[in-house]
Chain A
Amino acid sequence: MSASSAGTDDPSLAAETVELTKVYGEAQAEVRAVDGVTLTVPTGSYTAVMGPSGSGKSPLLHCLAGLDRPTSGTVRIGGTDLAALKDKQLTELRRERVGFVFQAFNLVPTLTARENIVLPLRLGRRAPDPDWFDAVITSLALGDRLAHKPAELSGGQQQRVAVARALVTRPQLVFGDEPTGNLDRTSGQELLALLRRSVDELGQTIVMVTHDPIAAATADRVWFLADGRVVDELAGPTVDGVLDRIRALES
C-alpha cells in the first residue's frame, strides 16, 4: 500500500479511497462502520481483508464496489470518482468494471450456470468474448456443468460459477465477501486456488474479505481492520504470520 499516492489516472491503480467514512445511524446510535480509510489497490494485486466481526470489512467492501455510498471521503475505481455517478451509472460500473462473489446466494435460480455467468454481459446487451469465456471456464473447471441450474450444483460448484460470473466481464476489480465461508475445507481450498490463478494467469485484481488465516495467506497482502480503521498491513503473508498479527492486535 502506498497511502501517499493520489494520482487519479494512474493505470497501475485499480482502486483507491481517500478518507473513506461510512456512518450508520444517527446521534446516540451512530456507528462509524468505516472510519477515515485511505488506501490503494494496485492493478494485479490480491488483497485479503481481515478483522473481527463488526470491524467494518463488509461496509468497506460495499463502498469500494459501488454497492453502497460512503458518508464522506472518496472512492475511485480506475480513476472514476464513484460519488459523481448516478444510480444508473453506478449500476453500469458494477456490471462492467467490478465483479462480486458473495458468501452465499450468488446465483439466479431460474438461470443455468452458463446463463448466470454471462448475466452481466446480457444485462449490458454485450456478447461474451469467446476466448476469454473459454479461458475462464477452463480455469474454473466448469465445462461440464454449464447447462445445470444452481439447484443441481454443489456449494463449491455454485461458488465457482459465481467467480466465473465475476471474471467474465474482465473487470478492473473482483470483490469477495467470505466467498469460502459456506464451503467445506476441500471446496474452499479449490476456490482459493482458482482465485490465485486468476490473479497470476489472467491478471485479475482481487480484494477478498475472509476470517480464515489460510485463505488470507493465499493473498499478496493482508489489511487488518478494527473499529472501521486499517490498523495493520502484512505483505507476503503466511498462515503463521497472519495468526501472529491477529494475536498481536487482540492483545
Chain B
Amino acid sequence: MWTLTWKGLLAAKARFVMTALAVIIGTGFVAGALTFGDTLEEGFENLFISIVGTADAVVRAEDPDDTRADDPFDTAVPTFPTEVVDRLVALDEVAVAEGEVEGVAILIGDDGEPTGQFGPPTIGYNAYINQELDPAELRTGRWPETADEIAIDAGTASAQGWGVGDRVGLVLDGPVERPEVVGTFGLGDLDNLAGASVVVLDRATALARLGTDGELTAAYAVAAAGVDEAQLIAAIETELGEGFTVQTAAEVVAEQQEAFGPIIEVFSIALLVFAVIALLVGSFLIFNTFTIVLAGRLRELALLRAVGASRGQLFGSVLGEAALVGAVGGALGAAFGLLVARGLQVILGTIGIELPGDLVVLPRTIGVAIAVGVVITVLAAIVPARRAVAIPPVAALTEVAVAAPAGRGLVRTVLGAVLLTGGVAALATTLLTDAGAVTLGVGAVALFLGVAALSALIVRPLARLLGGPSAALGISGELARANATRNPRRTAATASALMIGLALVSFVSIFAASLQGSVRDTIEGSFLSDAIVQSGTLAGVPDPALDAVAAVDDVEVVAAAAAGQVELGDRTVTVGVMDLDQLRAVLDLDITDGSLDGLATGGIALTESIADDLDLVAGDEVAATMPDGETTLPVAAVFDGGGIDVGAFLDTRTWGGPGGSASTVFNAYVLFDAEADASRVFAAVEEALVAYPQVRVLDQAGFADAIASQLDQFVGVVLALLALSVLVALLGIVNTLALSVVERTREIGLLRAVGMTRPQVRRMVRTEAISVALIGAALGLLLGVPLGAVFVRIEQFNITQLVLPWAQIAIGVVLAALAGLLAGVLPARRAANLDVLEALHSE
C-alpha cells in the first residue's frame, strides 16, 4: 500500500503543493511562536548572566513591599548607604566588591525626542571603581570622569549616529543637559540591552542625580580564593544582618527570568492564537484538496477495490498520503517559522523594541511543527477519505461519471442548526444579561462551526444574491455563477476559509472603532482640562516640569495624576491617584452612587463594573493591598467608568498613607483661566516644557488622537497577522479553482469549440473566483459584525458606544474580492490556454 501512497502523491503533486502551502503557513506560525519564545528566553538569560557579570554575590536592600514586586508602576528601588561596600570589602571572604546605583537617565535624540520613546527602559548607572567587575566592555573611548561626561551603549550610539566627542541630550533629574560622550560600550557580543538605552555617569554624578540621595541600589562581591559561594553568602548575611537580600548570581538570573516570563508568554500566546487561526483556515483548504483530488481518482479507487483492495487498505493509503504531505509541510513550516520569528524581531525592532539573541531553533520546535502538520492534515483528510473509499467496486465498470457517495447531509444540517441556534442564544444571553466574554466566546465558536456546517446550504442563495452583478458580464458571468454553486460543499469549504479571516477582521475593526469612539466620547464629555501633559517615558513627568507649567500665566490648575496598583479582593485594579479638589476640577465623573467627598477621608471611588464584580456599593468597605501594606478602604463613590483608563481613584493622601508617597506621574491635567486665550496659553505651556523633551503636551483633541493612534497601531498589527489567514484562504481558492478547471477540462474545450473566446474563458474563471471570495466575505460579515456588536456591549470593557466602521469593513470586502480576483488569475490563465481539441478529447 505504500507504493500506492507514493504513486498517488506523485501523480497529484501539483495539487498537493497547495495543501502543503497551507500546512506550511499554519505550522510556520506554530514554529515561529516557539522559536520566538525560545529566542527571547535564551536571549534574556544571556543578557541577565552578562549583567550579573563576574560577581559571585549580589546584595540589595530588602524591598518592604516585596509582595508587590509585579506592580509595573512601582519603579522605586530600595537603597542603602555606600558604606555597605566598605563593610563587604573588609570581609576575608570577599576579594573585591563594587557598589552600583541605577536609575532613570533619558537620552534625547537630535530630533528632540527621547530615544526609544514609550518602549524600552532608559537606564543610567555609575562608572565602576573596579572596572573589571563591570559587565559592560568599552568599545571606544573611556569611562566618564566628570559630571560633564557620559558613556553610552554602542547600540544607541549607532542608532542615533553618535560617537565619542559628540554632545548629546540627557535628562536626569532636571531639564535637558548636553554632556559629552567619552565612550561607548557593549555587553559581551551585544551592542545593546534589549533596546534599552544605557548611560554610564561618573560615580559622583550617578550617586547625586539618579534619585537615590547618594545611596546605592546594589552591591556586587567576588569571593576570595578558596571561598565557595555558600560561605560567601553566609559571611555577607552575617555581616549585614536584617534588611538586606543576598543572592548568588544564579539566583538573580533566575529571578529576572521569572519576571520576564510573562512578557515572553504574551508574545508566544499571541502568535499561537494566529497559528491556530491559520491552521483552522488551512484545514479547510486541506479538506477541500483531498475531496477534489479523491473525486478525480474515484474510478481508480473503484478499480483497486474491484481487484481486491480492502476499504481499510485504501483508507490507509489515502491517510498515508495525508500524513506525508503533512510531514513535508510541517518540516518546511519549521523553516518558515524561522522567517516568522525573524520577521517579528525585525518588526518589533523597527517600532523600537529590540530584543536580544540569535534565533534559537530547538529540535522540539521542528518536532512540534511536523507533528502538528501530520495531525492537522490527517484529521482534515479523514472525512474525504472515508467518503472516497466507500465507492462500490462496480463503479469501476460503469460508463457513467462516478460520484462519491454523498455524506450524511441530514446529520450535518441538524448539527449545524443546533450549533447556530446555540450560538445565537449565547449572543442574546450576552446582550441581555451580564454573562460576559466567556459566554460570547463559546457562542462565537458555536456560530463559526454552525455556519461552516450549514454553509453549503447558504451558498446557493448567496450566489444568487451576488449573481446580479455577475450576470452583467453576460454568459461568462452566468456560467461562473452556475459553476460556483455546482458543488455547494466545495464552494462552501473554500469560502469558509475566507469567512474566518473576514469575520475576525470585521470583529476587530468594530471593537477598535467602538473603543476609539468611546474614548473620544469620554474625553469630550468628562475631561474638563485645556491641556494634558503626558510622560513620553516610563520615568513619568518630573516635578520641575509640573512646576514650570504651574508658573505659566493664566494656568489655574495643574492636576498631577499618578498611577498605581491596588489589590481589591481577588482583583488587581489600576488606580488614579490625584488630589481630590484637582480631580473635581479636571474630571467630570458620572457618579452613580455615593459621593467623591469620601475620598478626602481615605475612601476609594470605583468604576461600576469593578463595583459590580466585587459586589460593592457606596458605604461598603473593601480589603485592599496597598504599597505600604494591607488595609481596609471605605467605598466612597461608584462612577460610570466608560472611557476612563483607570478602575478606581484615590486621593493623594490615601496613597501610601498620610502625606502620600511619591508615585510616578504619567499625566497632568492643566486648566487655563476661562477668560484667557486658550491657544496663547497652550503655546506658553509648550514653551515652558521645551526643556523637558521627555514630556509632551496635548490639547483635548490631540490627547484623543494619541490614544486612538496607539489603538490604530495595535489594530494594524492584528490586521496584518489576520491578512495571513486571508492569504491561506486565497491559496484555497487558487487550489479549488485549479482543480475545478482540471475537472472541467472537457467542458471548457466544448465551450471553446462552440465559440467562447479566451478572454471569455478567463473572465468566467475569474468571476467564479470572485464569487467564491465574496461568498466567504459575506459569511464572514454575517458572523463578525454581530459578534463585534455584541462584544462591545460587554460591560467590563467600558465601551460606551457601538461604532460600525463601514468604510473599513467595505475595504475588507473589496480586498476579499481583489484576493478572489488574484486567486483566479492562474487557474483562469490555465483554463484559457487549454488546447481546444485536447480538452475536448480529455477523459
B243 an interface residue at 8 Å Cβ cutoff? no
Proximity string of chain B (536-555) to chain A, C-beta cutoff 8 Å, 1 when within and 0 when not: 00000000000000000000
Please tell me which one of the listed residues B486, B754, B756, B758 contacts residue A165 in the complex, with CB atoms under 8 A apart: B754
Please tell me which one of the listed residues B747, B752, B759, B760 contacts residue A109 in the complex, with CB atoms under 8 A apart: B747
A131 an interface residue at 8 Å Cβ cutoff? no
Chain A residues, Cβ within 8 Å of B837: 62, 67-68
Q: A67-B836, A108-B479 are in contact. Are A88 and B750 (CB under 8 A)?
A: no
Closest to B751 in A: A108
Q: A105-B750, A106-B750, A108-B747 are in contact. Are A92 and B757 (CB under 8 A)?
A: yes
- Assembled-state Cα–Cα distance A128/B836 (Å): 25
Closest to A119 in B: B754
A111 an interface residue at 8 Å Cβ cutoff? yes
Count of A-B residue pairs with CB < 8 Å: 67
Chain B residues, Cβ within 8 Å of A148: none
Surface stretch bound by B, among A93-101, A184-192, A199-207 = A93-101
A245 an interface residue at 8 Å Cβ cutoff? no
Please tell me which one of the listed residues A91, A105, A107, A122 contacts residue B758 in the complex, with CB atoms under 8 A apart: A91
Proximity string of chain A (114-129) to chain B, C-beta cutoff 8 Å, 1 when within and 0 when not: 0000011011110000
A122 & B475 in contact (Cβ 8 Å cutoff)? yes
Please tell me which one of the listed residues A100, A106, A123 contacts residue B760 in the complex, with CB atoms under 8 A apart: A123
A102 an interface residue at 8 Å Cβ cutoff? yes
Whole-angstrom distance between the Cβ of B485 and the nearest chain A Cβ = 8
Whole-angstrom distance between the Cβ of B151 and the nearest chain A Cβ = 74
Chain B residues, Cβ within 8 Å of A100: 753-754
- Assembled-state Cα–Cα distance A165/B474 (Å): 18
- Assembled-state Cα–Cα distance A102/B746 (Å): 12
Closest to A111 in B: B482
Q: A102-B840, A105-B746 are in contact. Are A110 and B755 (CB under 8 A)?
A: no
Chain B residues, Cβ within 8 Å of A250: none
B482 & A110 in contact (Cβ 8 Å cutoff)? yes
- Assembled-state Cα–Cα distance A98/B385 (Å): 45
B483 an interface residue at 8 Å Cβ cutoff? yes
A144 an interface residue at 8 Å Cβ cutoff? no
A26 an interface residue at 8 Å Cβ cutoff? no
A30 an interface residue at 8 Å Cβ cutoff? no
- Assembled-state Cα–Cα distance A13/B299 (Å): 47
- Assembled-state Cα–Cα distance A124/B755 (Å): 8
B482 & A67 in contact (Cβ 8 Å cutoff)? no
- Assembled-state Cα–Cα distance A111/B750 (Å): 13
Chain B residues, Cβ within 8 Å of A68: 836-837
Proximity string of chain A (70-104) to chain B, C-beta cutoff 8 Å, 1 when within and 0 when not: 00000000000000000110011011100010100
Please tell me which one of the listed residues A62, A92, A105, A106 contacts residue B755 in the complex, with CB atoms under 8 A apart: A92
Chain A residues, Cβ within 8 Å of B746: 105
Whole-angstrom distance between the Cβ of B772 and the nearest chain A Cβ = 15
Q: Secondary structure at chain B's binding surface: helix, strand, loop or mixed?
A: helix
Closest to B485 in A: A110
Chain B residues, Cβ within 8 Å of A119: 475, 751, 754-755
B755 & A123 in contact (Cβ 8 Å cutoff)? yes
Whole-angstrom distance between the Cβ of B36 and the nearest chain A Cβ = 48
Whole-angstrom distance between the Cβ of A212 and the nearest chain B Cβ = 20
Chain A residues, Cβ within 8 Å of B486: 110
Closest to A182 in B: B399
Chain B residues, Cβ within 8 Å of A67: 753, 836-837, 840
* Residues 735-754 of B at the A interface (beta carbon under 8 Å): 746-747, 750-754
- Assembled-state Cα–Cα distance A125/B760 (Å): 12
Whole-angstrom distance between the Cβ of A92 and the nearest chain B Cβ = 7
Interface size on B, residues (CB 8 A): 22
- Assembled-state Cα–Cα distance A20/B483 (Å): 39
Proximity string of chain A (44-70) to chain B, C-beta cutoff 8 Å, 1 when within and 0 when not: 000000000000000000100001100
Whole-angstrom distance between the Cβ of A56 and the nearest chain B Cβ = 14
B755 & A95 in contact (Cβ 8 Å cutoff)? yes
- Assembled-state Cα–Cα distance A120/B752 (Å): 10
Say which size band chain A's interface belongs to: 20 to 34
- Assembled-state Cα–Cα distance A95/B760 (Å): 13
Closest to B759 in A: A88
Chain B residues, Cβ within 8 Å of A123: 474-475, 751, 754-757, 760
Closest to B481 in A: A110
Q: A62-B837, A68-B837 are in contact. Are A120 and B750 (CB under 8 A)?
A: no
B758 & A110 in contact (Cβ 8 Å cutoff)? no
Whole-angstrom distance between the Cβ of A124 and the nearest chain B Cβ = 7
A125 & B479 in contact (Cβ 8 Å cutoff)? no
Whole-angstrom distance between the Cβ of A147 and the nearest chain B Cβ = 15
Please tell me which one of the listed residues B747, B754, B758 contacts residue A94 in the complex, with CB atoms under 8 A apart: B754
Whole-angstrom distance between the Cβ of A241 and the nearest chain B Cβ = 32
Chain B residues, Cβ within 8 Å of A94: 753-755
Highest count of chain B CB atoms <10 Å: which of A62, A94, A111, A165: A94
- Assembled-state Cα–Cα distance A124/B758 (Å): 13
- Assembled-state Cα–Cα distance A122/B482 (Å): 15
A108 & B750 in contact (Cβ 8 Å cutoff)? yes
Closest to A169 in B: B755
Chain A residues, Cβ within 8 Å of B750: 102, 105-108
Please tell me which one of the listed residues B483, B753, B755 contacts residue A96 in the complex, with CB atoms under 8 A apart: B755
Whole-angstrom distance between the Cβ of A22 and the nearest chain B Cβ = 11
- Assembled-state Cα–Cα distance A165/B584 (Å): 85
- Assembled-state Cα–Cα distance A100/B755 (Å): 10
* Residues 298-356 of B at the A interface (beta carbon under 8 Å): none
A125 & B474 in contact (Cβ 8 Å cutoff)? yes
- Assembled-state Cα–Cα distance A91/B754 (Å): 8
A91 & B757 in contact (Cβ 8 Å cutoff)? yes
Whole-angstrom distance between the Cβ of B88 and the nearest chain A Cβ = 88
Chain B residues, Cβ within 8 Å of A165: 754
Highest count of chain A CB atoms <10 Å: which of B750, B759, B760: B750
Highest count of chain A CB atoms <10 Å: which of B746, B753, B837: B753
Please tell me which one of the listed residues B482, B755, B758 contacts residue A120 in the complex, with CB atoms under 8 A apart: B755
- Assembled-state Cα–Cα distance A120/B747 (Å): 14
A120 & B754 in contact (Cβ 8 Å cutoff)? yes
Closest to A62 in B: B837
Closest to B754 in A: A120
- Assembled-state Cα–Cα distance A119/B759 (Å): 16
Closest to B480 in A: A110
Closest to B836 in A: A67
Proximity string of chain B (746-787) to chain A, C-beta cutoff 8 Å, 1 when within and 0 when not: 110011111111111000000000000000000000000000
- Assembled-state Cα–Cα distance A109/B486 (Å): 10
Whole-angstrom distance between the Cβ of A175 and the nearest chain B Cβ = 10
Whole-angstrom distance between the Cβ of A16 and the nearest chain B Cβ = 22
Highest count of chain B CB atoms <10 Å: which of A96, A109, A110: A110
Whole-angstrom distance between the Cβ of A13 and the nearest chain B Cβ = 22
Whole-angstrom distance between the Cβ of B834 and the nearest chain A Cβ = 12
Closest to A88 in B: B757
Whole-angstrom distance between the Cβ of A89 and the nearest chain B Cβ = 10
Closest to B747 in A: A108
Closest to B761 in A: A91
- Assembled-state Cα–Cα distance A68/B835 (Å): 9
Chain A residues, Cβ within 8 Å of B483: 110
- Assembled-state Cα–Cα distance A62/B482 (Å): 29
- Assembled-state Cα–Cα distance A68/B754 (Å): 13
- Assembled-state Cα–Cα distance A102/B752 (Å): 13
Highest count of chain A CB atoms <10 Å: which of B751, B754, B837: B754
B757 & A111 in contact (Cβ 8 Å cutoff)? no
Query: Which 7 A-B residue pairs are closest in the complex by CB-CB distance?
Result: A95-B755, A110-B482, A122-B475, A91-B757, A120-B755, A94-B755, A123-B755
Where the two chains meet, the residues of B that have a C-beta atom closer than 8 Å to any C-beta of A are 474-475, 479, 482-483, 486, 746-747, 750-760, 836-837, 840
Sample (17) of A-B pairs whose CB atoms are under 8 Å apart: A67-B836, A67-B837, A68-B836, A87-B758, A91-B756, A91-B758, A95-B754, A100-B753, A102-B750, A109-B747, A110-B483, A110-B486, A111-B479, A123-B751, A123-B755, A123-B760, A124-B755
List 15 additional A-B contacts (Cβ < 8 Å) besides A100-B753, A102-B753. A67-B753, A68-B836, A68-B837, A91-B756, A95-B755, A95-B756, A100-B754, A108-B750, A111-B479, A119-B475, A120-B754, A123-B475, A123-B754, A123-B755, A123-B756
